[in-house]
């Protein structure tokens, strides 16, 4: 599932700089590399073979656990309902800013010392946000788990939001926005969401704007943390070398002191704009980038899984998809063309993109529209339908071949309200979908008359729409 995430998913230190430190400072700084190797080797078993336990701490915090004691490490993934949809108007990018600050000093430890402790303990700690949730990722060696969990506890409960650190992070975010403004893909995506959702929270830029980021104060950062971080909107998954009893204690240690309930601003349900819209944003680039899409059914809709199979054969299956065959293979109009389903808490979309020569923009968009209409009218053929189902069921185990992947997948199911048994049921549910189901859902899903298109570049042929 594709999501709009914030521009910064981890601490400001880049991977290249971390690798330089490892090379320059010897074994003590090689621990993160050891941790990465353990992450890669750990937990290579079929998804259906996993034993998923439900653990409830004495303080009432619930988590899912997959124990694996073959390697001395564990991964913890957690989320708080909220995300960038909780950014106040005029302070867009606030959740993104907070995600960059939680490891920049906490408790009585300043930013530099906190980062140094993370490195010394070989802890991987990062935060990110989507429209609907604020995420944390925590990975540690078993030998360092207690000390590492204390750092996590401080980051979650007592971030300092130091002014100096905030100004440094603000400068980094502002620099990234300058870069993003020159990135056709980012511009096309931001403009698409603005067209589709207007003044709704989903229509605002998740990373903010130059003005909104400059307007964010350290008090705003602390206020977001206070409003969003609570026990009742928390979801947690742990995978690796930790027992149920140990996890139970860790949950209360890390999250137990948080308020019981958050203070979230209600976010309304919304459908993307209908009637079809096209917007052109001129940018001096050698090829144009286009994003297209329209509304889709929500994740819990009985037809969603069928739509998921349809997306695989339409544009989600790489070279095996219709769009790739028609736009790239047969006509050579684009290097890449794709589609995806994105269910959010308050909306759902079928969307996709294409990058093509400036003189081939209209042709590419017309071909995409035609293929979507063909599938809507005639449905998929039996061969591509069965191939899509076979790929989706056969590749499912690859989503669970490392601890981090397992934790991420299970957290997504937990957020969507599914039980642990969904992992075992999922492939059977896909196998039960019939070709007639696919034809019926295709007519419902592929509403091309409502297709919203944003184009960034300098298309040479006329494209219906307005210039931005």
**How confident is the model at residue 278, as a pLDDT?**
95
pLDDT tier at 34, thresholds 50, 70, 90? very low
* Burial (CB count <10 Å: 0-12, 13-18, 19+), residue 274: middle
9 inside domain = no
Residue 171 scores a pLDDT above 50: yes
Strand segments (E) across 296-450: 334-343, 348-357
Residue 13 scores a pLDDT above 70: no
Distance of alpha carbon 133 from alpha carbon 338, whole angstroms = 25
pLDDT tens-digit series, residues 208-219: 999 999 999 999
Number of domains in the chain: 2
Q: Comparing 39-53, 55-69, 129-143, which segment has the lowest mean pLDDT?
A: 39-53
Q: Are residues 249 and 304 in the same domain?
A: no
Nearest to 238 by CA among 41, 52, 36, 37: 52
In 159-243, which residue ranges form alpha helices assigned H by DSSP? Answer: 163-180, 184-197, 210-215, 218-228
Question: What count of Cα atoms within 13 Å lies in the side-chain half-sphere of residue 155?
Answer: 29
Q: What is the mean pLDDT of the chain?
A: 90
Residue 40 scores a pLDDT above 70: no
pLDDT tier at 50, thresholds 50, 70, 90? confident
**Residue count (the chain):** 468
261 inside domain = no
Q: Are residues 328 and 433 in the same domain?
A: yes
Give the range of the structural domain holding residue 33, as residue numbers without chain letter. Answer: 15-255
Nearest to 251 by CA among 55, 402, 119, 43: 55
Q: Are residues 299 and 440 in the same domain?
A: yes
Q: Are residues 439 and 374 in the same domain?
A: yes
**How confident is the model at residue 460, as a pLDDT?**
79
Token pair recorded at residue 280: 């052109």
**How confident is the model at residue 315, as a pLDDT?**
97
**How confident is the model at residue 342, as a pLDDT?**
97
> Residue 382's domain is classified under what CATH number?
3.30.830.10
Q: Are residues 232 and 374 in the same domain?
A: no
44 inside domain = yes
The DSSP secondary-structure symbol of 93 reads T
Chain mean position to CA 336: 21
Token pair recorded at residue 55: 């653990």
pLDDT tier at 49, thresholds 50, 70, 90? low
Residue 78 scores a pLDDT above 90: yes
Token pair recorded at residue 274: 């209908």
Question: Do residues 171 and 202 touch, judged by C-beta distance below 8 A?
Answer: no
Question: Do residues 164 and 110 touch, judged by C-beta distance below 8 A?
Answer: no
**How confident is the model at residue 386, as a pLDDT?**
97
267 inside domain = no
7 inside domain = no
Token pair recorded at residue 156: 């979650």
pLDDT tens-digit series, residues 424-467: 999 999 999 999 999 999 999 999 999 999 999 999 765 554 44
Q: Are residues 40 and 105 in the same domain?
A: yes
Q: H helices then E strands: how many in the chain?
A: 17, 12
Q: Are residues 336 and 246 in the same domain?
A: no
pLDDT tier at 143, thresholds 50, 70, 90? very high
Alpha-carbon radius of gyration of the chain: 23
Q: Are residues 285 and 164 in the same domain?
A: no
268 inside domain = no
Which residues are CB-contacts of 99 (< 8 A; sequence separation ≥ 6)? 6, 8, 9, 127, 128, 129, 134
Residue 9 scores a pLDDT above 80: no
Q: Are residues 284 and 209 in the same domain?
A: no
Q: Are residues 372 and 315 in the same domain?
A: yes
Residue 88 scores a pLDDT above 90: yes
pLDDT tier at 16, thresholds 50, 70, 90? very low
**How confident is the model at residue 48, as a pLDDT?**
52
Token pair recorded at residue 299: 């994740």
Q: Are residues 211 and 304 in the same domain?
A: no
pLDDT tier at 137, thresholds 50, 70, 90? very high
272 inside domain = no
pLDDT tens-digit series, residues 184-236: 999 999 999 999 999 999 999 999 999 999 999 999 999 999 999 999 999 99
Share of the chain above pLDDT 70, in %: 88
Question: Do residues 352 and 371 touch, judged by C-beta distance below 8 A?
Answer: no
Mean pLDDT for 81-109 is 97
271 inside domain = no
Mean pLDDT for 410-427 is 96
Question: Do residues 165 and 105 touch, judged by C-beta distance below 8 A?
Answer: yes
Q: Are residues 248 and 382 in the same domain?
A: no
pLDDT tens-digit series, residues 331-347: 999 989 999 999 999 99
Distance of alpha carbon 276 from alpha carbon 3, whole angstroms = 23
Residue 12 scores a pLDDT above 90: no
């Amino acid at each position: 599932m594709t999501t709009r995430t914030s521009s910064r998913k981890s601490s400001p230190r880049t991977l290249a700089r971390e690798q330089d430190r490892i090379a320059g400072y010897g074994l003590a700084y090689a621990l993160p590399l050891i941790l990465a190797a353990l992450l890669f080797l750990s937990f290579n078993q079929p998804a259906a073979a996993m034993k998923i336990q439900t653990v409830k701490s004495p303080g009432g915090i619930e988590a899912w656990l997959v124990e694996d004691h073959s390697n001395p490490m564990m991964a913890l993934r957690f989320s708080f309902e909220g995300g960038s949809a909780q950014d106040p108007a005029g302070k867009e990018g606030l959740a993104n800013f907070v995600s960059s600050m939680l490891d920049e000093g906490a408790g009585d430890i300043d930013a530099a010392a906190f980062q140094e402790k993370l490195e010394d303990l070989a802890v991987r700690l990062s935060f990110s946000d989507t429209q609907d949730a604020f995420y944390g990722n925590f990975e540690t060696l078993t030998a360092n788990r207690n000390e590492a969990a204390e750092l996590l506890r401080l980051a979650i409960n007592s971030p300092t939001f130091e002014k100096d650190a905030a100004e440094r992070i603000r400068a980094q975010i502002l620099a990234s926005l300058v870069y993003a403004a020159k990135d056709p893909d980012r511009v096309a995506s931001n403009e698409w969401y603005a067209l589709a959702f207007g003044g709704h929270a989903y229509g605002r830029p998740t990373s903010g704007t130059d003005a909104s980021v400059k307007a964010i104060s350290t008090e705003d950062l602390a206020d977001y943390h206070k409003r969003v971080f609570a026990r009742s909107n928390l979801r947690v998954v742990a995978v690796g070398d930790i027992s149920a009893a140990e996890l139970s204690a860790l949950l209360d240690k890390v999250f137990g002191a948080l308020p019981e309930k958050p203070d979230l601003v209600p976010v309304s349900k919304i459908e993307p704009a209908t009637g079809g819209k096209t917007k052109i944003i001129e940018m001096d680039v050698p090829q144009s980038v286009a994003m297209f899409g329209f509304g889709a059914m929500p994740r819990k809709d009985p037809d969603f899984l069928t739509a998921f199979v349809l997306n695989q054969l339409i544009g989600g299956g790489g070279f095996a998809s219709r769009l790739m065959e028609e736009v790239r293979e047969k006509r050579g109009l684009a290097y890449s063309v794709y589609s995806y389903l994105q269910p959010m808490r308050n909306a759902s979309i079928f969307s996709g993109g294409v990058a093509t020569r400036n003189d081939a923009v209209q042709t590419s968009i017309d071909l995409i529209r035609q293929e979507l209409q063909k599938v809507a009218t005639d449905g998929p053929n039996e061969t591509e339908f069965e191939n899509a189902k076979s790929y989706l069921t056969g590749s499912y185990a690859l989503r669970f071949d490392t601890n981090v992947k397992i934790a991420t997948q299970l957290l997504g199911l937990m957020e969507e309200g599914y039980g642990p048994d969904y992992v075992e049921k999922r492939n059977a549910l896909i196998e039960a979908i019939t070709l007639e189901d696919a034809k019926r859902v295709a007519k419902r899903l592929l509403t091309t008359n409502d297709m919203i298109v944003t184009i960034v570049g300098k298309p040479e042929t006329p494209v219906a729409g307005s210039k931005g």
